[in-house]
Amino acid sequence: MAPLLEVRDLKVSFATDDGAVKAVDGISYTVEKGQALGIVGESGSGKSVSSMTVMGLTRFSGNATITGEILFEGKDLLGATDDELRLLRGNEISMIFQDPLSSLHPFYRVGKQIVENVRAHQSVSRAAARDRAVEMLRLVGIPEPERRFDAYPHEFSGGMRQRAMIAMALANDPKLLIADEPTTALDVTVQAQILELLAHLQQELDTAIVLITHDLGVVAEVTDEIAVMYAGRIVERAEKLPIFAAPEHPYTWGLLRSIPRLDLPRNEELVPIPGRPPSLINPPSGCSFHPRCPYARVECATTDPRLKPVDGDAGHTTACVLPSAVRQELWGQLANGVLPAQALETVTIPGAAR
Amino acid sequence: MGPYIIRRLLWMIVLLLIISMITFVIFYVLPSADPAILRAGRNPSPELVASIKKTLGLDQPFYVQYWKYLERLVFHFDFGTSYQNNISVKAQIFDRLPATIGLAVGAMFVWLLIGIPIGILSAIRRGTLADRAAMGTALLFISAPVYWLGLVALYLFSKDIGIFPIFEGQGSYPTTGNLFTNPTEVAPSLFLPWLVLAASFAAIYARFMRGNLLEVMSEDYIRTARAKGLRERTVIMKHGVRSAITPIVTILGLDLGILLGGAILTESVFNIPGIGRLAYESIQKSDLPIVQGTVLMGAFFIIFLNLVVDVVYAFLDPRVRY
Beta bridge partners of B77: none
Which chain A residues are Cβ-neighbours of B228 within 8 angstroms? 89-90, 94, 116-117, 120, 168
Return the sign of the alpha-carbon dihedral for residues B57, B62, B68, B73: positive
* Element holding B198 (H helix, E strand): helix B183-216
Cα–Cα separations (whole angstroms), residue A342 to A96, A269, B145:
42, 14, 76
Q: Give the distance from CA A47 to its chain's centroid.
A: 5
pLDDT of residue A251: 93
Measured between CB atoms, which of B224, B229, B316 is closest to A91? B229
Closest chain A residue to B232 measured between Cα atoms?
A86
Count of helices and strands (H, E) across chain B:
16, 0
The alpha carbon of residue B283 and the mean position of all alpha carbons in its chain are separated, in whole angstroms, by 18
User: What residue in B sits closest to A58 (Cα-Cα)?
Assistant: B223
Q: Pairing relation of β-strands A176-180 and A93-96?
A: parallel
- Do strands A5-16 and A64-72 pair parallel, antiparallel, or not at all (unpaired)? antiparallel
Q: Inform me whether the C-beta atom of residue A99 falls under 8 Å from chain B C-beta atoms.
A: yes
Report pLDDT digits (tens) over B152-182. Answer: 887 777 655 566 666 654 444 545 567 777 7
Q: Does A154 touch chain B (CB under 8 A)?
A: yes
The alpha-carbon gap from A53 to the nearest alpha carbon of chain B, in Å, equals 11
Distance CA B295, CA B279 (A): 8
- Count of Cβ atoms closer than 10 Å to residue B211 Cβ: 15
Cβ-contact B262, B294 below 8 angstroms: yes
Q: Do A97 and B229 touch (CB under 8 A)?
A: no
B221, B231, B318: residue with CB nearest A103: B221
**Chain A residues close to B224, C-beta within 8 Å:** 97, 103-105, 165
Interchain CB contact of A60 with B (< 8 Å): yes
Of A99, A106, A120, the CB nearest to B228: A120
The pLDDT value recorded for residue B216 is 96
| Cα atoms in the 13 Å half-sphere on the side-chain side of A254 | 25
ipTM of this complex: 0.88
B318/A94 touch (CB, cutoff 8 Å), yes or no: no
User: Taking CB atoms and an 8 Å cutoff, what residues of chain B touch A57?
Assistant: 223, 226-227
Closest CA to A303 of A316, A293, A290: A290
| Whole-angstrom distance, CA of residue B318 vs CA of residue B279 | 40
Tell the burial category of B276 from Cβ atoms under 10 Å away from its Cβ (0-12, 13-18, 19+): buried
Chain A residue closest to B315 (CA)?
Answer: A107
Nearest residue to A120 via CA among B219, B243, B220, B234? B234
CA angle, residues A146, A148, A153, in degrees to nearest 5: 150
Interface size, chain A vs chain B, as Cβ–Cβ contacts under 8 Å: 69
pLDDT in tens, B13-28: 999 999 998 988 888 7
Do residue B229 and residue A88 have CB atoms under 8 angstroms apart? Answer: yes
Chain B's closest residue to A61, CA to CA, is: B218
Q: What is chain A's pLDDT, residue by residue, as a tens digit (354 residues)?
A: 688 999 999 999 999 999 999 999 999 999 999 899 999 988 888 898 999 999 999 888 888 999 999 999 999 999 999 999 999 999 999 999 988 889 999 999 999 999 999 999 999 999 999 999 999 999 999 999 999 999 999 999 989 999 999 999 999 999 999 999 998 888 888 888 889 999 988 888 889 999 999 888 888 888 989 999 999 999 999 999 999 989 999 999 998 888 877 777 777 778 888 888 888 999 899 999 999 998 888 888 898 999 999 888 888 999 998 888 888 888 888 888 888 888 888 877 776 554
Instruction: Locate the chain B residue with the closest alpha carbon to A96.
Output: B224
One digit per residue, the tens of pLDDT, for chain B of length 322 reads: 888 889 999 999 999 999 998 988 888 777 777 777 777 777 778 888 888 888 877 888 888 888 888 888 888 888 888 888 888 889 999 988 988 999 999 999 999 999 999 999 999 999 899 999 999 999 999 998 888 888 888 777 765 556 666 665 444 454 556 777 777 777 777 888 899 999 999 999 999 999 999 999 999 999 999 999 999 999 999 999 999 999 999 899 999 999 998 888 888 888 888 899 899 888 888 888 898 899 999 999 999 999 999 999 888 898 887 7
User: Would you call B224 and A89 a contact, using CB atoms and an 8 Å cutoff?
Assistant: no
Strands (E) located in A50-138: 64-72, 75-76, 93-96
* CA atoms of A238 and B38, how far apart (whole Å): 97
Q: Which of A61, A105, A114, A155 to mutate to test the interface with B (most CBs of B within 10 A)?
A: A105
Q: Which of B226, B232, B233 to mutate to test the interface with A (most CBs of A within 10 A)?
A: B226
Residues whose CB is less than 8 angstroms from the CB of residue B37 and which lie 6 or more positions away in sequence, other chains included: B44, B49
Whether residues A105 and B243 touch (CB distance < 8 A) is answered with: yes
Q: Is B204 helix (H, G, I), strand (E, B) or coil?
A: helix
Q: For residue B118, how far is the Cα from the chain centroid?
A: 23
Contacts of B313 in chain A (CB under 8 A): none
Contact B253, B135 (CB under 8 A): no
| DSSP class per residue in B48-96 | HHHHHHHHHTTTS-HHHHHHHHHHHHHHH----B-TTT--BHHHHHHHH
Q: Among B228, B243, B316, whose Cβ lies nearest the Cβ of A90?
A: B228
Nearest to B220 among A103, A116, A152 (CB): A103
Model pLDDT, residue B171: 45
In chain A, residues with a C-beta closer than 8 Å to the C-beta of B220 are 97, 99, 102-103
Q: In what side-by-side order are the strands of the sheet with A225-230? A: A93-96, A176-180, A208-213, A36-40, A225-230, A233-239, A313-318, A308-310
Bridge partners (DSSP) listed for residue A233:
A230
Cα–chain center distance at A250:
19
Question: Residue B45 carries which side chain, given as an amino acid letter?
Answer: S
CA–CA separation, B224 vs B311, rounded Å?
A: 29
Contacting residues of A for B243, CB less than 8 Å apart: 105-107
Closest CA to B38 of B88, B89, B84, B86: B84
Mutation target for A interface from B221, B249, B313: give the one with most A CBs within 10 A.
Answer: B221
Q: Do A120 and B230 touch (CB under 8 A)?
A: yes
| Residues of chain A contacting residue B316, judged by C-beta atoms under 8 Å apart | 107
Phi, psi of A20 (to 5 degrees): -80, 130
- State the nearest Cα–Cα gap between B230 and chain A, in angstroms: 6
Measured between CB atoms, which of A57, A87, A106 is closest to B227?
A57
Of A60, A94, A107, the CB nearest to B317: A107
CA of A341: how far to CAs of A79, A268, A289, A294, A322, in Å? 49, 15, 17, 8, 17
* CB atoms inside a 10 Å sphere around CB A273: 19
- Contact B226/A120, CB-based, under 8 Å? no
**In chain A, whose CA is at the least distance from the CA of B218?**
A61
Return d(Cα A10, Cα A6) in angstroms, integer: 10
Within 8 A of B317 by CB-CB distance, chain A residues are 106-107
A152 and B318 within 8 Å at the Cβ level: the answer is yes
Residue B192 Cα, gap to closest chain A Cα (Å) = 38
User: What is the least distance, in Å, from the CA of B3 to any CA of chain A?
Assistant: 23
Mean pLDDT of chain B: 86
Contact A103 B231 (CB under 8 A): no
pTM, entire model: 0.85
Residue A354 at interface with chain B, using a CB cutoff of 8 Å: no
Q: Search chain B and give the residue with CA nearest A115.
A: B228
3-state helix, strand, coil in chain B (%, to 5): 75, 0, 25
User: 3-class SS at A225?
Assistant: strand
Pairing of the two strands A19-31 and A36-40? unpaired
Task: Count the neighbouring beta carbons within 10 Å of the beta carbon of residue A164.
Answer: 29
* Contact flag A107-B225 (C-beta cutoff 8 Å): no
